Amino acid sequence: MTLKHLRLGVNIDHVATVRNARGGDVPDPVRAALVAEAAGADGITAHLREDRRHIIDSDIDGLMAALKIPLNFEMAATAEMQAIALRHKPHAVCIVPEKREERTTEGGLEVAGQDNTLAAYMAPLQAAGARVSLFIAADKRQVEASARIGAPVIELHAGAYADAWAEGRWAARDSELSKITDMVAYGTELGLEVHVGHGLTYDSVGPIAALPQVAELNIGHFIIGEAIFRGLGPAIAEMRRLMDEARA
Ligand code: PXP
């Protein structure tokens, strides 16, 4: 199976990180999202963390009001976040594990082992029309559990692959890529839509984009960093070009 168009979700969290460094209103993540939309992003991803270290509640209000492309609302499985998601009814909700002390989302969600809790948590979100995805490690148990509890979408955590690439650990990179490759295929076989994200760069995106069953990549930190040098629109356009080249 080949999906023709590989969607690019641009994560704008780190525009908010820069804004929050000075506590004012600039740079505005909503403006960044509109630039991303104009540059060919298929969706915008924003993670409202419990500690509001980057995206804040008013950003979600602004994104919901301004965007024509879908918002993928990333959040931890807490009652507070569920209520916020139900109020906004974004196109997609991506459930991620969250630890206060972590620098970024370090691991995947433990789905296997908390099937019932997560299924019950997802139910109202799905009833409200949100496409729920679970951010999991490329691990068979987690993929199977995600399918078992009726999640329509999984996002595989590419962090270990991306780190190995960045650090020149080629054997680890290849073994992480083969785990992702296998779990993309397995998830698809189980009827899941499969996304991949975390840590992807111009160097590391190609082999992931080339996997024919992957429907969407979510990429943030690298693009926002690259935007300092090229501008946000061109940084996104280059990522798009590399994805299309790999897919072709
Ligand atoms: N996908 C998910 C589920 C994430 O949590 C993140 C990071 O917030 C990303 C994608 C984007 O990762 P990065 O900013 O490293 O590209």
pLDDT tens digits along 45-61:
999 999 999 999 999 99
Mean pLDDT of all residues belonging to the chain: 96
CA distance 236 to 205: 13
Domain definitions of the chain by residue range: 7-247
Distance 124 CA to ligand 1 centre (A): 24
Answer whether 117's CB lies under 8 Å from 129's CB: no
pLDDT given for residue 107 in this prediction: 81
pLDDT given for residue 100 in this prediction: 73
CA distance 236 to 40: 8
Give 119-135 as a DSSP string: HHHHHHHHHTT-EEEEE
Which of 10, 105, 155 is the pocket-test mutation for ligand 1 (most atoms within 8 Å of CB)?
105
pLDDT in tens, 167-191: 999 999 999 999 999 999 999 999 9
Q: Which long-range contacts (CB under 8 A, 24 or more apart) does 186-191 make?
A: 186/140, 186/143, 187/143, 187/146, 187/147, 187/154, 187/156, 187/213, 188/1, 188/213, 190/143, 190/144, 190/147, 191/147
pLDDT given for residue 91 in this prediction: 97
Within the chain, where are the H helices? 13-22, 29-38, 57-66, 79-88, 115-127, 140-148, 159-166, 170-189, 205-209, 221-230, 232-247
| Entry pTM | 0.96
pLDDT given for residue 132 in this prediction: 98
CA distance 104 to 36: 22
Residue 80, Cα to own-chain centre: how many angstroms?
Answer: 20
Answer whether 90's CB lies under 8 Å from 73's CB: yes
Distance 88 CA to ligand 1 centre (A): 21
Residue with tokens 């930190």: 221
pLDDT in tens, 198-244: 999 999 999 999 999 999 999 999 999 999 999 999 999 999 999 99
- CATH 1.10.260.30 for domain 7-247, yes or no, is no
Distance 9 CA to ligand 1 centre (A): 10
Answer whether 232's CB lies under 8 Å from 240's CB: no
List residues with catalytic annotation. Answer: 47, 74, 198
HEC letters along 140-151: HHHHHHHHHCCC
Would you call the peptide bond into 152 cis, given omega within 30 degrees of 0 as the criterion?
no
What is the average pLDDT across 154-176?
98
User: Which two three-digit tokens encode residue 123?
Assistant: 């139910």
pLDDT at 26 > cutoff 90: yes
What is the average pLDDT across 115-127?
93
Q: Which long-range contacts (CB under 8 A, 24 or more apart) does 15-18 make?
A: 15/224, 16/46, 16/54, 16/55, 16/56, 16/59, 17/53, 17/54, 18/224
What is the average pLDDT across 29-45?
98
* Pocket around ligand 1 at a 6 A CB cut-off: 11, 13, 47, 74, 94, 96, 104-105, 135, 155, 197-200, 218-222
Residue with tokens 């209520």: 83
pLDDT given for residue 3 in this prediction: 58
